[in-house]
């Protein structure tokens, strides 16, 4: 299920800021790859695909953006704007990333190496895969 994962935050007692740490056991899969999106114009959409097997977690390391998630029946828009909250997206979910704020950085922590054959990039193909 799509859900938020709270990332532990260590606030410095002397006001030197925050530190968040992602230990491998807080994610429900083995991490194989990390990538990040940045310098995304506010009128651009990223994503626009589903994965057959890949699972991933998205974090707004800086700034904010919206994630549209769609399981083929319901479509929900979630705003990511906290560096200590990860959005877990299981396999078989259509996602679109939009409304990037200036300076937004989207970190993706994913369960597999890059395989184009794991992508469904056509929405109708995605719906067909659900029926």
Question: Can you point out the beta strands (E) in the chain?
Answer: 3-6, 9-11, 18-20, 33-38, 46-51, 56-62, 65-70, 75-80, 85-89, 94-98, 105-110, 119-120
Q: Are 88 and 4 in contact (CB under 8 A)?
A: yes
Least separation in angstroms between CB 128 and ligand TYD: 20
Question: Coil, strand or helix: which one is 1?
Answer: coil
Query: Which residue among 8, 114, 115, 128 contacts ligand TYD (CB under 6 A)?
Result: 114
Least separation in angstroms between CB 91 and ligand TYD: 15
* Number of residues engaging ligand TYD in binding (CB under 6 A): 7
- Residue 26 DSSP class: G
Stretch 42-71: interaction string toward ligand TYD, x if CB under 6 A: ----xx-x----------------------
- What amino acid positions are annotated as catalytic residues? 49
Region binding ligand TYD by CB under 6 A among candidate stretches 11-19, 30-38, 62-70, 72-80: 30-38
């Amino acid at each position: 299920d799509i859900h938020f994962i709270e990332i532990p935050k260590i606030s410095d007692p002397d006001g030197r800021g925050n530190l968040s740490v992602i230990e491998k056991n807080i994610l429900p899969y083995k991490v194989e790859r990390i990538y990040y999106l940045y310098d995304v114009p506010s009128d651009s959409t990223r994503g626009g695909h589903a994965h057959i097997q890949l699972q991933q977690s998205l974090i707004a390391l800086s700034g904010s953006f919206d994630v549209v998630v769609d399981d083929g029946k319901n479509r929900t828009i979630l705003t990511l704007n906290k560096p200590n909250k990860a959005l877990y997206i299981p396999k078989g979910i259509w996602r679109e990333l939009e409304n990037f704020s200036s300076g937004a950085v989207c970190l993706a922590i994913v369960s597999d190496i890059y395989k184009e054959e794991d992508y469904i990039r056509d929405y109708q193909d995605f719906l067909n895969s659900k029926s």
